[in-house]
Structure 1
């Protein structure tokens, strides 16, 4: 006998609610209670409703961990990942909660507390992370997807953003548009990601036969305003500056204005991350960064793989950045 297809009306009849209420629950609408949403989702799964997101069938409680340092930074790079992923999960009826951590002790407390109250949950962690944080979460047998970091030891799935290739590609573009004297303002003490950007920059110079000079690198965090106030503009002025994030470039725009330096006519400017800030700057900023939608989809799919496999293991998937060419870089066509 052919099994009757389960519809929203079937679920509504079983729970004595309206079809509209079921639709709201299954599509992440906010005007129903969490308890009712959970009841409807569980009934949908029990009845074999086909249009449930596969990850929601395994788990509907997830946390997104960001270090306090990155969360409070002006650029909000990693918060953009959370916001997009949260929107996607809302549409599936999945709960995603933001948690700020400061060190591996915070991570241990987080794991201990939530394992007492939740039978199943998963964790996303964004940004360069202390290996002890990753190891503590892995030791607690929590499914973890880490974004923009990598470790060979922890049983964690990593989405690794290839900043080395991004630095190489961005520098290539500047050289190909006629820039030879390029200064990289990259704080190489801040993170391994920044170190990768710098090495990519160096590799491009080497391949184009441009000798690296100490004056071509300033290791300073321009995302902090206090580091700009006393900044001495290099003399002679480079052809171009590369900044380790968009917000650092934004602060340089302010600095350049105070020195009566015109971008891109006096100097070209490019940066990493390609956040929304780039479009608010004048001229709009050339930047290289990952596709946030791609990261969000991979966050979903990678976590689903962990739950379907039934255990965590060390794995790395590389995400490549896209170059967005905008008027902050002077080209042969610039008038």
Structure 2
């Protein structure tokens, strides 16, 4: 029998629905004989508990929703792994969805997770769904922001992020100290905090060294591999090309590396690459010379998981802000 119910078990055993329910839900007294009878018939009928009904009764689903901009980005997947490793032993499971950096899709996914009654939501936001976020938070579902802030500081939420400005400053400063003044920048969206803060770090270093920005050397993308490819095509068409390129996320860096190699450029002999975030493929390049800011996505995920458990199990109320400081790595020596 498929889709068997408690009523079916009661009919087959000759017991009341209330008695069968007590046994199935382990919520009240029933003799050993009755328990064995109910469980035997339940197995025969292939009874499967209704998880939705149970969650309505106990007011939890033991699921955590995670909305990230790009599910193919290893950075965000490492964050998710850190979360999962931290919360799984406590009985929680993750539901992954991707916003694809689209405001409308993020809003849709927030609504879906809200309706599915997840116990908490981890969000790397597009930063333009504050009303929906506020609505969910006020309904009692904890929202933990990861990697990105909200512009509206009036909404007090947990946040796990990085010191983007400082790391981008250090990356730019290192290039300048190596003698580069013609620096191309592949930035992500300036509609989100990571894009804004990393560009601010770049500008601080340039201003500190009295180097004027060249608008032709700034390319605005949206944190995708395709953006890295397009940015390189743009830079290489310039009469006065950059001698170094800073890419402000790992996916854009990967696209830039691919396009440079495809067009016969040698890294770092022809152009130096500096990446905000580790590019795993670069490990296969001998003496790649790629300068990187190394992040800690797994550790960020672990901290996020700890915050989730604190909210759901320990009733912690005050907002938590944990900021990580990425480390500069200057590449392999030739």
**TM-score w.r.t. structure 1 length?**
0.68
Partner of 1:11: none
CA root-mean-square deviation: 3.0
User: Structure 1: 5+ residue runs without aligned partners?
Assistant: 1-34, 36-58, 116-120, 328-333
Q: Which has the larger radius of gyration?
A: 2
- 1:263, distance to aligned residue in structure 2 (A): 0.6
- The SS at the match of 1:158 is strand
1:262 to 259, 263, 266: 266
Contact 1:222 1:249 in 2 (8 A): no
Contact 1:153 1:314 in 2 (8 A): no
Deviations 1:31-69 (A, max 9, x none): xxxx9xxxxxxxxxxxxxxxxxxxxxxx882414224x4
Matched, 1:124 2:138: no
Matched, 1:317 2:308: no
- 1:299, distance to aligned residue in structure 2 (A): 1.1
Deviations 1:178-217 (A, max 9, x none): 3222111113445331121111101001112222222331
Contact 2:79 2:299 in 1 (8 A): no
Contact 2:84 2:305 in 1 (8 A): no
Q: For this pair of structures, how many residues does the alignment match? A: 265
Relative distance call for 1:113 and 1:258 in structure 2 (3 A) is closer
Relative distance call for 1:304 and 1:135 in structure 2 (3 A) is same
Provide the C-alpha distance between the structure 1 equivalents of 2:61 and 2:289, rounded to a whole number of angstroms.
40
Partner of 1:231: 233
Provide the C-alpha distance between the structure 2 equivalents of 1:132 and 1:211, rounded to a whole number of angstroms.
39
Matched, 1:70 2:70: yes
2:109 to 106, 113, 119: 106
Contact 1:78 1:127 in 2 (8 A): no
Relative distance call for 1:290 and 1:62 in structure 2 (3 A) is farther
**TM-score w.r.t. structure 2 length?**
0.68
Partner of 2:41: none
Partner of 2:291: 286
Deviations 1:202-238 (A, max 9, x none): 1001112222222331223573438736924133222
User: Structure 2: 5+ residue runs without aligned partners?
Assistant: 1-48, 50-59, 100-104
Relative distance call for 1:94 and 1:113 in structure 2 (3 A) is closer
Relative distance call for 1:154 and 1:108 in structure 2 (3 A) is farther
Contact 2:123 2:146 in 1 (8 A): yes
Q: Which runs of 4+ in 1 moved over 6 A?
A: none
1:191-270 paired onto structure 2 within 5 Å? 191-221=192-222, 223-225=224-226, 228=229, 231-232=233-234, 233=236, 234-270=238-274
